[in-house]
Amino acid sequence: MRKNISRRAFTLGALGAGAAYSVARTAPVGSAKPDSIFRLTADAATHTVDRDFFGVNGARIISAQNARQWHDPAFRDALAAARPGLLRVQGGTTSQWIDWRTGLFQEGDGGEFAARNDGRPPLLLSDWAELVRHTGATPVFDLNVAHSTIDDQLDMLREARRLGMPVRYVELGNELWISMRPYTELYPTGADYARVMNEWIAVIRREFPQARIGVAGVDDSGMFALMGERATSWNGLLFSTIRDADAVTLHPYWIVDPVAADIGSTAGGGAVAWARLAEHVLPQVPAGMEVWYTEYNQMGREAAPPLSLLPAPQQTWAVGLSVAAFTLRTLQDPRTGMAVMHCALNGAPAVDTGGGGTTNQALHALISDGSGGSELFGRTALHRALSPIYASMADGTEVRALRLDAAVQTPAALITPAYVGPAELFTGVELAAGGRTTAVLVNASDRALRITLPPSLIGARDATVYAAAPTSAPAFVPGDTVSETRTAISGSIELPPYSEAIVNA
């Protein structure tokens, strides 16, 4: 992921949110009283998904250190323990510069990865096949539409199939609406991109008729709207020109309270980001087209301005719950075809944090890489929050949203998407498969929630509850942990502050 944003536009947005922030912290919010007993209800509408719905982006793989770690059996075990249903092969931006035959970066034409092959062991397609086997994940192939040809990429898919990887999901490029070479030269507009991809789609379908194919859209509900007219006009021109695509891919990222690291804004940020996306972007998507979130996360500081003006946020349990809330809300939406979190591997962001690959992005990973004082292959707050969700998925899972009868909210301020107002702090889904019903409940608030269960969960006898202080940073701060407690329930449950529960009926 590489972002270039107008410094002036971003700074004005940040100042606007910051100026209203003190108001947001004290503004009255329509939340229930602390001693309330909430009633949980299930939506009548249901939709069905399979196990290969959630997953993780195959990143970071740029630095020599990280590339070596993807070959390490200990890392592969930690990744498998997260139970991802999908693995995005060759990552995002990296996929547009990698020669799949050698596993090395193409260093010319824009210089995005110049000198990055020095000392870096290649990741070959056979290595990705081993990762897919070891994790049990389904690959999402992000094709190189910037430095390759359709014939060459068909050869890659053929080789992937020969290595035992199913060609079920194909993504046509990564963030091609960013104003960088060679994207702007190859695809000046969303319509230009769509016209070329119409040809790719027809060719791919002839040889891989079972493959579902996604095209690159832009989430312009947040900072990407500041990238200029090319980005803001991209979706409209793409949707009016593309033919026979199954899905559009979006990459929602949000930045919360970068100055004070406010816990409420952090814990509620994922729900806010989802609400803004659902209001401003999803209505643009043509009927019948799925939405694939092939990257998403909370983000913060990078070396490139203007993100270099921000602090480098710690990955905490509050971040984990925020991302878990966004993750579950993608599952609630029947338009969603997949949700792939970025990224799998990263270290502790620091002063020199940057997006170029030799230092750590201020994006939070499932697994820590040992740099910046982090634990080597430690299981982070995101790992603790997302792996129980991933493990709850099965083929043919029937999904229903779960809602409380009163709002649980906090004042929040986000820099991107620009927002000041209430943030929802409860998210729930019901999952039914194979005669078994499970619920995933996230309480990102600072108080316990006493909840009466709906009829479909009345028979539930126990729940596994994951809880920690919101500032707990497992894998980054020695001694910080997330507790896991099995508790008996009967008709109701009490969710501790800052917790996630898996209810088994």
Query: In this predicted model, what pLDDT tens digit does every residue of 377-428 receive, in sequence order?
Result: 999 999 999 999 999 999 999 999 999 999 999 999 998 899 999 999 999 9
124 backbone dihedrals φ, ψ, rounded to 5°: -90, 165
CA angle 108, 109, 112 (to 5 degrees): 75
For residue 309, how far is the Cα from the chain centroid?
24
Distance in angstroms (rounded) separating the CA atoms of residues 67 and 375: 17
CA angle 375, 293, 74 (to 5 degrees): 25
Q: How many CB atoms lie within 10 A of CB 459?
A: 12
For CATH 3.20.20.80, the residue range(s) in the chain are 51-395
Higher pLDDT, 228 or 136: 136
Tens digit of each residue's pLDDT (9 = 90 or more) over 253-273: 998 866 655 899 999 999 999
Mean pLDDT for the stretch of residues 282-305: 88
pLDDT confidence tier of residue 107, bands split at 50, 70 and 90:
confident
Contacts 24+ apart (CB under 8 A), 356-360: 356/2, 356/62, 356/303, 357/60, 357/62, 357/63, 357/66, 357/113, 357/116, 358/62, 358/63, 359/303, 360/60
Over 60: is that where the pLDDT of 493 sits? yes
Tens digit of each residue's pLDDT (9 = 90 or more) over 42-81: 999 999 999 999 999 999 999 999 999 999 999 999 999 9
Smallest CA-to-CA distance from 346 within 368, 328, 324 is with 368
Give the model's pLDDT for residue 146: 95
For CATH 2.60.40.1180, the residue range(s) in the chain are 37-46+398-504
Over 80: is that where the pLDDT of 306 sits? no
What is 51-395's CATH number?
3.20.20.80
Q: Identify whether the C-beta of residue 7 lies closer than 8 Å to the C-beta of residue 305.
A: yes
DSSP 152: H
| β pairing state of 426-433 and 436-443 | antiparallel
Over 50: is that where the pLDDT of 230 sits? yes
Q: Identify whether the C-beta of residue 160 lies closer than 8 Å to the C-beta of residue 178.
A: no
**Adjacent-strand bridge partners of 215:** 172, 248
Give the model's pLDDT for residue 36: 80
Contacts 24+ apart (CB under 8 A), 232-236: 233/189, 233/190, 234/177, 234/189, 234/190, 234/193, 235/190, 235/281, 235/284, 236/190, 236/284
What are the distances in angstroms from CA 322 to CA 134, 194, 317, 350, 446? Answer: 28, 34, 9, 22, 13
Q: How many CB atoms lie within 10 A of CB 301?
A: 23
Q: Identify whether the C-beta of residue 106 lies closer than 8 Å to the C-beta of residue 121.
A: no
Over 90: is that where the pLDDT of 12 sits? no
pTM of structure = 0.93
Indicate the length of the chain as a whole number: 505
Could you tell me what percent of the chain has a pLDDT over 90?
77
Question: In the predicted model, what is the mean pLDDT of the chain?
Answer: 89
77 backbone dihedrals φ, ψ, rounded to 5°: -65, -40
Distance in angstroms (rounded) separating the CA atoms of residues 153 and 391: 32
Given the candidates 2.60.40.1180, 2.102.10.10, 2.60.40.420, 3.90.1150.10, the CATH classification of the domain at 37-46+398-504 is: 2.60.40.1180
Tens digit of each residue's pLDDT (9 = 90 or more) over 442-470: 999 999 999 999 999 988 999 999 999 99
Buried b (16+ CB within 10 A) or exposed e, 19-52: ebbeebbeeeeebeeeebebebbbeeeeeebebb
